[in-house]
Amino acid sequence: MTTDGTSGSEAPLVAAVIAADPARAAMIRRELAPALQATGTVVVEAPTVEAALAARTEGNLLALLVVDAGAATASPQLDVDRVLAPAAGLDPVPSIVLLSERHHHTDVHRSLDRDLVHAIVAVPWTVGEVAHQGRSQLARWLRRRDATDARLQALDDGARLAEGPTSQMLLDLELDDHDLTLRLLRDIEGVLGPLPRLQLPAGTRLTHQDVGVDGVVIVVQGAVALHRHTEIGDLRLHHASTGPVVGLLSLAQQRQAFFTSRATTDVEVVHLSLEQLDRALQLEPEVGAALAAVSVRALARRLRRAEQLQVREVKLNRELDRERERLADALAELEATRLELIETERMATLGELAAGVAHELNNPVAALTRAATYVATDLGALLAVHPRSQALAEVLTTAHRRPPRSTAEDRRARRAIADRIGDATLADRLVAAGIDDPDDASRIADSADAGELARAADLGSALRNLTTAAGSVAELVDSLRAYARPSTQRPQDDVDLHATVEDALRLVGHRLDRVEVIRDYAADLPRLRAHPGPLSQVWANLLVNAADALAGSGTIRITTRCPDPGHVEVRIGDDGPGMADEVQERLFTPRFTTKQGAVHYGLGTGLAISRRIVATHGGTIEVASTTDEPSGTEVLVQLPTAGPPPDTEGST
């Protein structure tokens, strides 16, 4: 069916002659119209394709365009691409015959690219050539649409035009290989007489690579393969594409065989010397036509073979590229796994060291704690018998129990006391001993036993420092024990999430000296089933990352919540510069790290391991970051209170 709903046989046809010169258009029409009359095709004249389309009646199909490109001396000359452009939008596209007396065209490349030029006829043309081309192109157009169209028979004109070619060479190309070979031999033997058939066994070489060729071999029966020896070995390049004439193309290679031809089956051949071939070509023109047909067909097959090999090569190269990518990905995964194993081993070693250190510190810390208690008790007993026991005990107790103060508070206290007593050195000593009230400092300074009172304050401050240090070391030892606890054990019940966070804060406290840490802990956070040590490792990794992002100044906020009865969540956020989207996409990639806003490649396994630990607990970890003001990064870790899935217990 056509685009207007009529069938190919029913739709009337229009042929248009496009010419700027009305006289030329009329001349072309007078020659073309009789040739198409039997098909009922209407031939019209028009200056442009658009005008030809407008001249059609409803239901007609524009099947043929004959376009006059104008005289060679015309100025300006007709722009063929511009004239034919409207035809590209037609469905179906008509057959187009271009008439031109120009020797050179630079205005047809777009038309050829769009398959709009089907034949070119030189002007002046032989009488009847336009009619012949018009009839041929219309027949081809009809055959493409509907091979059963009755109008094809009207275009036959007794010359088999609608069925195929009439020249001998083109007719030869339509024969199969065996018939074409027999026709070639018949024509040759018609000149030279009967030629002997040579029966050769499989494996016989007919030509030798790089050896002179002084004739050709016609293969009547059997198969021959073409081989070429290269630096990578002997390659078979042609077999089914060899063709029936062996050695003909070598005559164009300075009579040197490019291939070694070898029979792959028993073959029957006819050998022709160069002189015999030359004589046959001189005496019988049809030998040349048959030989040309044989050569064209062999070349076509070899070209197809070469194209197939090229396509195969491209496919293999693409497969190799994909395989290389897969191998690269596998290598990257192996490298990431290796680094993770190294990091895991390092953490295991660190855990063993931490356990050893904690064990070795446990006894000295206990001794320090007991010593601090004994010293406080003994000092109280000694002071009880001193004449100024009450005053000394009061000063010692005040210094011992004084809560920690900031450096700024100490400076203010020193200035206030120095202004009151007029002695900066004594003021420094009293403040260091814990005396920060100017009235207390004044009483001590005015006392006759000011030296004893100052020493009592010093002793109280020393006791406070001893007790505080012993307690801090004891807490650090407890944190080390929790951190070093083997992760291969079964998860513990009733784990305090806040305790694991505090353990991490103590362990990385040296990295947070100049960073403000804000704790926003939920008061009713449920206990959970977990591995405390690995969880502390997660918080330690996240806190170190946040400290690195802040580069020494800023705020880290730790928030804990219970979003539902079965889960707890920890948020660790900083107000650093934030991260770009492309950095966030690679945060959990091993060997990818961000330090102080710059991207580096290093060990970079902290986040990857943290995600693995969280995953083995049955939880999730997410990162949100922005570089817009206010910038910052927040990591959300959500954990189930029920603990790790059964199949992952002990695998953290």
Domain 486-648 in the same topology as domain 170-305? no
Average pLDDT over every residue of 62-68: 91
Q: Average pLDDT of the chain?
A: 80
pLDDT for 395 equals 67
DSSP output for 437-494: -HHHHHHHHHSTTHHHHHHHHHHHHHHHHHHHHHHHHHHHHHHHHHHHS-TTSPPEEE
Per-residue pLDDT tens for 512-542? 878 899 999 998 899 999 988 788 888 988 9
| pLDDT of residue 570 exceeding 50 | yes
Average pLDDT over residues 581-604: 55
Distances (CA, A) of 325 to 158, 317, 585, 600: 64, 12, 20, 23
Pairing of strands 224-230, 233-238: antiparallel
CATH class of 13-164: alpha beta
What is the per-residue pLDDT for 555? 92
Q: Which comes out higher in pLDDT, residue 461 or 73?
A: 461
pTM of the model: 0.44
Question: Phi and psi dihedrals of 431, rounded to 5?
Answer: -65, -40
Lowest mean pLDDT across 311-315, 563-567, 645-649: 645-649
Rounded mean pLDDT, 358-372 = 74
Domain 486-648, architecture per CATH: 2-Layer Sandwich (3.30)
- Give the count of beta carbons closer than 10 Å to the beta carbon of residue 634: 18
Percent of the chain whose pLDDT exceeds 70:
78
pLDDT of residue 584: 77
Evaluate whether 438 touches 418 at the Cβ level (below 8 Å): no
| Highest mean pLDDT of the ranges 41-50, 330-339, 416-425, 427-436 | 41-50
213 exposed, middle or buried (CB, 10 Å; 0-12, 13-18, 19+)? buried
What are the residue boundaries of the structural domains of the chain, listed by start? 13-164, 170-305, 386-479, 486-648
* CB 177, CB 219: distance < 8 Å: no
Percentage above 90 pLDDT, the chain: 19
pLDDT digit string, tens, across residues 574-589: 998 888 887 777 777 6
Strand order of the sheet with strand 233-238? 205-207, 260-263, 224-230, 233-238
Which has the higher per-residue pLDDT, 97 or 429? Answer: 97
Inform me whether the pLDDT recorded for 620 exceeds 90: yes
3-state secondary structure of 95: strand
Determine the Cα–Cα distance for residues 208 and 200; give it in Å rounded to an integer.
Answer: 16
pLDDT band for position 432 (cuts 50, 70, 90): low
When pLDDT is cut at 50, 70 and 90, the band that residue 199 belongs to is very high
Query: Quick one: tokens of 498?
Result: 């806040």
State the fold for domain 170-305.
Jelly Rolls (2.60.120)
Contact 479, 536 (CB under 8 A): yes
In angstroms and rounded to an integer, the radius of gyration of the C-alpha atoms of the chain is: 50
- Cβ(46)–Cβ(52) under 8 Å? yes
pLDDT of residue 602: 33
Looking at residue 75, its pLDDT comes to 52
Q: Which residue has the tokens 């206030």?
A: 416
Query: What is the band of 485 on the pLDDT scale with cuts at 50, 70, 90?
Result: low
Reported as a single tens digit per residue, the pLDDT across 290-331 is 888 888 888 888 888 888 888 888 999 999 999 999 999 999
